[in-house]
Amino acid sequence: MADEGRWTGLCGGYRTPYDPRNAIGKLLDGDAKVAWDELWQELYHQGDVGEASYAAVPLLER
């Protein structure tokens, strides 16, 4: 997950900066409930998604 600068400028569903990598790391560590709650809350808001929402898809697919 290189290229830190790309992630810090991406916005989630609230249109505020959100970096989903920590939550995705929690998924890998087995803390699925907390991770999915955070991802759902931050990446989607009342039908809105942001760049971070789309950027998280390949990481989630892995």
Using DSSP's 3-state secondary structure scheme, residue 28 falls into: helix
Q: Is 6 part of a structural domain of the chain? A: no
Distance, CA of 29 to CA of 6 (rounded, Å) = 24
Which stretch of DSSP H or E encloses residue 21? helix 21-28
Asked, for residue 33, whether it belongs to a domain, the answer is yes
Are the CB atoms for 24 and 35 separated by under 8 Å?
Answer: yes
Structural domain including 21 reads: 12-61
Which pTM was predicted?
Answer: 0.80
The answer to whether position 55 is within a domain reads yes
Q: Report whether pLDDT(62) > 50.
A: yes
- How high is the pLDDT of residue 2? 52
Q: Residue 3: inside a domain, yes or no?
A: no
In a domain? residue 20:
yes
pLDDT per position as a tens digit, 5-60:
788 889 999 999 999 999 999 999 998 999 999 999 999 999 999 999 999 999 88
What's the total number of domains in the chain?
A: 1
Classify residue 4: in a domain, yes or no: no
Residue 11's contacts (CB-CB under 8 Å, 6 or more residues apart) are 17, 18, 50, 51, 52
Return the structure tokens found at 31: 């803390």
The pLDDT, as a whole number, for residue 4 is 67
Residue 28 lies in a domain: yes
According to the model, what pLDDT value does residue 3 have? 62
The predicted structure's pLDDT at residue 1: 46
